Every structure is written in C-alpha cells, then in structure tokens.
C-alpha cells in the first residue's frame, strides 16, 4: 500500500472569490461571504477549499496579477478575515489551499517598479528584459515573435530604459526571471509564510512556464498562425523546470502539503508526468489541458470545434493510464474559472436533461483515478451565460481583447463577427465567473445589496439555485455529495484502483472499469440523449449483473435490470 497520500483521498472545491458570496452589498464577493458558506461546503463533503487569488492586485486579470504577496485585496477583506476563514475550515475538518501566481507579478508590484526604473537597479534582473530588434527599414521590433495569451506580442517596450520586457499574459503581468536565484528565494519565502499561516498547500498558476529557453528563439514562421504565434515549445516545461520544481517540492514535503500545478500548452504527457511522479519530489498532481481544448477550433479557442466522445475517450484514457502506470497522479476537472460550464459543453442544458447531465458528469468524473476538483456552481448544475449577452456584458480581458482585435482586423465582416460572438458565448472564461446562484432572490441571493453584481447574474437562478438543491435529496448537489462519499467508502477501488476503458468504439457510452485486487467497479455514462441498447461485453456482464448498484442518476435503475447480454441505458444515464 505504498504511494498512498492524504491528498489523493481528498476532493477539492474551487472558489472564485469575486463571484462566490458578497457579504456587504458592494456587488463583489468577499471572504466574510465565504465564511458564511462553510457549512454548505461541509454538507457537500469536500476536504479542501482552493481560493482563486485574494492577494493585493490591480485586478487587470482578476487577481492573477499580484502586487503584494503579503497583503489581501481590500474588497475581499483583511488578513484577519483570512485567518478566520482558515480557522473555520479547520474546525470543520477542511483545509485551505492558496492560489500561488509566481510565473509573473503585476506591473504594480514593487519589484517591477524597481526593475523598470533603470538597467542598474538591483531588481533589474528579476524580470526578463531584452534589447529591441530593428528591421532593415529601422523599425523597432520585439526581441522575438512570441504572442501573449491575451492577444498581441508577448513583449512590451519600455521607453525609460529602451528595452522590452516579457509577458506571456497581459502587458500588466510581467514574467519573473526564475534564472535569478533571488527570485526563487523570494517565492520560497512567500510559500513558507502562507504555509505557516495555515495554508495546506498551493494551486500553482502556469507553473510549467517558469523556465524559458534562454536563447528566446523565434517560433519558426511555418508553425505560426499569425504575426505572434504561441511560443510554448520554448517555455512550456522548459529546460530548468524540474530543477525549480524540486526546490519547491522540498518545501512542500516539509509541511506534508498539497500541490497541484496548472500545466497548459504541453501535450507530451511524459513531461507532465515527471512533475508529478510520486518519488521525484516535485508536485502532487497537475491539471492537463488536452481535455479543455477538445472543443476548440483549428484556428484557436474562439473558432468552432465540436466535442466528440471518441476524443474524450482517448484523452481521458491516455492520462488515466500514464499516471496510474507510472506513479503519477491526475487532477480531475471539467470546470474552472477559465472555462465554459461542463453541462453546456459536454452534455445538455435542455431542462429535461440538465439535472441528469450534471449527475452523469459527476459520476463520470468523480469515480476516475485522481483527485476530483469541483468548481463553484458545478455542484448545482450552473450553465453557460445566456444567449442575450453582448460584448458590453463581458468582463474578461481575454474575450474583450480578442473581440477588439477581431473588429479592428476585419471591419464589416458581420458573418465572422456573429460566428465569433457565438463562440465567445460558448467558451469565454466569463462563463465560469457569473455569480454563484444561492437562491431565488434578487441577484440570485449572491449579494444582499442594491448594487448590481460586478458581472451577470445569469437568468435561470429562480429555478437553479443552491437553496432549493440542498434540501432536495434528488438534486445534483446531493448526488455530488453521494459520489464524494462513495469515493471515500471505497478508497481502494475508487482512489487507488486501476483504470480500464471498456467498449472503446461505442459512440454514445463512456464505460470504464476501476479495479483493486479482486474488486471491480464498472462506471457507465451515456453522453447522448438517446436510449441506448448496449450489448454488454462478456467480461463486464458478471460485474454488472452480480454486483451491487452503488450509484445511479435514474431512480428506476435496479441491479436486476443489469442482468442480461443487452441492457438499455437511458438518455444521460450514469451508474
Ligand atoms: O491560466 C493559464 C492558461 O493558460 C489558461 O487557462 C488561460 O486562461 C487560457 O489559456 C486562455 O485561453 C491561468 C489562470 O487560471 C488564468 O485565470 C490567468 O489569467 C492566467 O493563468 C494568467 O495568470
Ligand atoms: Ca463585497
């Protein structure tokens, strides 16, 4: 039974502070609001609560631009509030996990203010500064052609010292220079400070971007899709990543801490694996992005791309197998603050299927090998923003920058603009950021005040809200609670068991088996609105027909109805 760990047996709930619960009526969620909902989280049965950034920040990117790692963003509350939150979690047997954003800081951080002030400042080398390039005509150009994730080049020119600085995200989010040991020491100090304050670990923002290829090469133009292509192959899992992660891992180990690394833009699973193998002393687990890119179009996120079950099967099986076979560990998720809602993306929002879909996805995700993450609102079946949304309703800089660039580059192309707006409604990060739907009252009972919330709310909260679901034993909320409980009750098979995909080519059903020694559990999930007549593979018949029904989203399902060579599986059914 080696390789067991407390964080493998836990489940995580992600809170997006601005949109969770507003306690003082200013339209922005806050820490006292979170404290008022701890019993709700306890009832759901999660073990760890991860908060998206709450540190001081000008909020260009909703706190993913930190200007002081030792201060709380005032609208969210005070350090005392954070201490009370941690006490409240601990009193209920839950743990606090902090979002650690250290690939970059805000341009308002003191380090960057110093750094940009002169070439000889002691902080100059804390960020990545490079000389301009010049064309034959004498035009000033960035040091290379890498693009920013939020449109335009990844470099901004600073007149003060006649150099460019690197920012893989917004210009207000300069990348730290991890080659400088002082930067790494500063990060270690931040980690220790918060671990001492009672954090049980970290979610580490784009942590696989911290080591850049020091040659800073251009992306060959043949690979490029525009003037500023993604330079990921030169910084996603870069040359010194594992060395840096081992330094962080040493600290994590001292505190027996939790860690999950966010690792976008890398599809060589072996690279991610190295960061999370149990004996390498780096991170506990990682978020992979292949599953999230599944409905992105060939020319980027906001171009049409359909989700196909066969792609989902191959992505899930790939990551389940590689982690299980090599002592790695998966972070299981279908939603977060950067993504559209999973019912809208992978199942059905139709009123008759919405609750079934939410429960089907809970079964599908929650019983895989890995640590499950639930994003606020997922447990009550929240869906994407409404079709009535226009550009003024969006708040996220990614969507807004994309739109502005599109309008500028393609004036008058209404057809393209309409199509792009449809894709933004489906995939914009704002989909996950609408206020949490607590009840049927004004502003979904997110805020008590008269000030309109900073975003949204959605228009379906009269029917779809937490207060109606907590008390309804057949709700998505209580179904999730049951799944999390089941994982705990059968730790061997559901946490530590192997994973095997069954009936790979089936077009509607996603079926898998989890096994530990002589115990096998089979999970069947119908991703379609069809009634499926399923010819059960021979080795599965005995498990289904002679076993015990542990969970299911249709009341009528009985274990006796699973006996037979063919069984009929209802729309979006899971058991
Ligand atoms: O996200 C990193 C990341 O690559 C994304 O998921 C990003 O939102 C996507 O590529 C855009 O299409 C993390 C945070 O989760 C995100 O909220 C931050 O904006 C970003 O890092 C920068 O800190
Ligand atoms: Ca507030």
Mean pLDDT across 36-53:
98
Per cent of the chain over pLDDT 70 is 99
Mean pLDDT across 436-452:
95
165 and 174 Cβ atoms separated by less than 8 Å: yes
Residue from 205, 231, 295 to probe ligand 1 pocket by mutation (most atoms less than 8 Å from CB): 205
Residue 221 pLDDT grade (very low, low, confident, very high; cuts 50, 70, 90): confident
Nearest atom in ligand 1 to the alpha carbon of residue 301 is 12
- Ligand 1: centre distance to CA 485 (Å): 31
Residue 225 has pLDDT above 80, yes or no: no
Mean pLDDT across 553-565:
92
Mean pLDDT across 209-215:
98
**DSSP annotation string for 186-211:** HHHHHHHHHHHTT--EEEETTGGGSS
Cα distance between residue 305 and residue 263, in whole Å: 22
Structure-block tokens of residue 429:
């990060």
Cα distance between residue 141 and residue 419, in whole Å: 33
Residue 502 has pLDDT above 90, yes or no: yes
Mean pLDDT across 76-105:
98
- Look at residue 542 in the predicted model and tell me its pLDDT: 85
Greater model confidence, 184 or 539: 184
Per cent of the chain over pLDDT 90 is 93
Is the whole model's pTM more than 0.95, yes or no?
yes
Nearest atom in ligand 1 to the alpha carbon of residue 65 is 23
CB atoms inside a 10 Å sphere around CB 176: 23
Cα distance between residue 74 and residue 57, in whole Å: 9
- Look at residue 224 in the predicted model and tell me its pLDDT: 60
- Look at residue 222 in the predicted model and tell me its pLDDT: 76
Mean pLDDT across 408-421:
96
Cα distance between residue 296 and residue 454, in whole Å: 28
Cα distance between residue 208 and residue 241, in whole Å: 7
Please work out, in degrees rounded to the nearest 5, the angle formed at the alpha carbon of residue 533 by the alpha carbons of 532 and 536: 115
- Ligand 1: centre distance to CA 232 (Å): 13
- Look at residue 449 in the predicted model and tell me its pLDDT: 80
Ligand nearest to the CA of 435: 2
Residue 1 has pLDDT above 70, yes or no: no
262 is annotated as an active-site residue: yes
Nearest atom in ligand 1 to the alpha carbon of residue 104 is 23
CA max distance for the chain: 79
231 and 144 Cβ atoms separated by less than 8 Å: yes
Residue 128 has pLDDT above 70, yes or no: yes
Active-site pick, 262, 338, 445, 573: 262
Structure-block tokens of residue 43:
């009832």
What domains can be seen in the chain, in order of their start residue?
12-105+181-386+434-477 (3.20.20.80), 110-166 (3.90.400.10), 387-427 (no CATH), 497-569 (2.60.40)
- Ligand 1: centre distance to CA 127 (Å): 20
253 and 195 Cβ atoms separated by less than 8 Å: no
The secondary structure of residue 274, as a DSSP letter, is H
**Element housing 467 (H / E):** helix 466-470
- Look at residue 306 in the predicted model and tell me its pLDDT: 86
Give the pocket of ligand 1 (CB within 6 Å). 61, 64, 101, 149, 169, 205-206, 262, 264, 301, 337-338, 398, 429
Mean pLDDT across 367-386:
98
Average pLDDT, whole number, for the chain?
Answer: 96
Ligand nearest to the CA of 453: 2
- Look at residue 223 in the predicted model and tell me its pLDDT: 63
- Ligand 1: centre distance to CA 403 (Å): 17
Cα distance between residue 90 and residue 95, in whole Å: 6
205 is annotated as an active-site residue: yes
Residue 300 has pLDDT above 90, yes or no: no
Residue from 50, 264, 305, 335 to probe ligand 1 pocket by mutation (most atoms less than 8 Å from CB): 264
**Element housing 113 (H / E):** helix 110-117
- Look at residue 124 in the predicted model and tell me its pLDDT: 98
- The tens digit of pLDDT for each residue in 256-292 reads 999 999 999 997 899 999 999 999 999 999 999 999 9
- Look at residue 476 in the predicted model and tell me its pLDDT: 98
Contacts of 575 (CB under 8 A, 6+ apart): 363, 523, 524, 549, 550, 551, 552, 553, 554, 557, 562
- The tens digit of pLDDT for each residue in 337-359 reads 999 999 999 999 999 999 999 99
Ligand nearest to the CA of 66: 1
- Look at residue 426 in the predicted model and tell me its pLDDT: 92
- Ligand 2: centre distance to CA 336 (Å): 21
Ligand nearest to the CA of 208: 1
- Ligand 1: centre distance to CA 151 (Å): 13
* 3-state SS class at 44: helix
496 and 474 Cβ atoms separated by less than 8 Å: no
Q: For 116-138, give one letter per residue: b (16+ CB within 10 A) or e.
A: beeeeeebbebbbbeeeeeeeee
Nearest atom in ligand 1 to the alpha carbon of residue 150 is 11
Say what the alpha-carbon torsion angle 100, 101, 107, 108 is, to the nearest 10 degrees.
Answer: -20
Residue 546 pLDDT grade (very low, low, confident, very high; cuts 50, 70, 90): confident
433 and 463 Cβ atoms separated by less than 8 Å: no
């Amino acid at each position: 039974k080696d390789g067991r760990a407390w964080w493998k047996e836990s489940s995580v709930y992600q809170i997006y502070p601005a949109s969770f619960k507003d306690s003082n009526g200013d339209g922005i969620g806050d820490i006292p609001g979170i404290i008022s909902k701890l019993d709700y989280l306890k009832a759901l049965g999660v073990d760890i609560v991860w908060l998206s950034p709450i540190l001081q920040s000008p909020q260009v990117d909703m706190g993913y631009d930190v200007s002081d790692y030792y201060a709380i963003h005032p609208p969210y509350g005070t350090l005392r509030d954070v201490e009370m939150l941690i006490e409240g979690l601990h009193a209920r047997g839950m743990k606090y996990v902090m979002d650690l954003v250290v690939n970059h800081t805000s341009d308002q951080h003191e380090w960057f203010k110093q750094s940009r002030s002169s070439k000889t400042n002691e902080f100059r080398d804390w960020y990545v500064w490079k000389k301009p390039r010049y064309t034959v005509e004498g035009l000033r150009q960035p040091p290379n052609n890498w693009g920013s994730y939020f449109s335009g080049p990844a470099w901004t020119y600073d007149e003060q010292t006649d150099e460019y600085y690197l920012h893989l995200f917004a210009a207000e989010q300069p990348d730290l220079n991890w080659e400088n040991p002082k930067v790494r020491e500063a990060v270690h100090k931040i980690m220790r400070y918060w671990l001492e304050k009672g954090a049980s670990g970290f979610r580490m923002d784009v942590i696989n971007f911290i080591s850049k290829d020091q040659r800073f090469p251009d992306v060959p133009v043949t690979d490029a899709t525009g003037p500023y292509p993604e330079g990921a192959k030169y910084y996603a899992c870069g040359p010194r990543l594992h060395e840096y992660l081992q330094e962080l891992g040493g600290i994590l180990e001292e505190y027996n801490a939790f860690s999950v690394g966010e690792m976008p833009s890398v599809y060589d699973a072996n690279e991610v694996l190295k960061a999370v193998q149990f004996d390498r002393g780096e991170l506990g687990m990682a978020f992979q992005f292949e599953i999230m890119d599944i409905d992105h179009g060939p020319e980027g996120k906001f171009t049409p791309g359909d989700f196909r079950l066969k792609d989902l099967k191959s992505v899930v099986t790939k990551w389940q197998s590689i982690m299980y076979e090599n002592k790695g560990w998966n972070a299981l998720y279908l939603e977060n603050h950067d993504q559209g809602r999973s019912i809208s993306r992978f199942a059905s929002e139709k009123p008759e299927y919405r609750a079934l879909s939410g429960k089907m996805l809970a079964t599908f995700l929650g019983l895989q090998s890995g640590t499950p993450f639930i994003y606020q609102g997922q447990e009550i079946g929240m869906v994407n923003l409404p079709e009535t949304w226009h550009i003024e309703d969006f708040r996220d800089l990614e969507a807004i920058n994309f739109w502005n660039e599109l309008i500028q580059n393609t004036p008058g192309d209404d057809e393209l603009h309409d199509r792009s707006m449809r894709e933004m409604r489906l995939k914009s990060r704002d989909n996950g950021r609408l206020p949490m739907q607590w009840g049927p009252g004004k502003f979904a009972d997110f805020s008590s005040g008269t000030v309109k919330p900073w975003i949204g709310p959605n228009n379906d909260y009269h029917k779809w809200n937490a207060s109606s679901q907590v008390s309804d034993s057949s709700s998505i909320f209580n179904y999730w609670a049951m799944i999390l409980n089941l994982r705990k009750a059968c730790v061997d098979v559901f946490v530590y068991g192997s994973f095997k995909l069954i009936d790979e080519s089936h077009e509607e059903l996603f079926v898998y088996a989890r096994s530990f020694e002589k115990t096998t559990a089979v999970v069947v999930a119908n991703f379609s609105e069809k009634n499926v007549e399923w010819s059960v593979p021979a080795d599965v018949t005995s498990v289904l027909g002679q076993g015990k029904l542990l969970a299911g989203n249709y009341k009528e399902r009985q274990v006796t109805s699973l006996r037979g060579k063919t069984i009929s599986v209802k729309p979006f059914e899971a058991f």
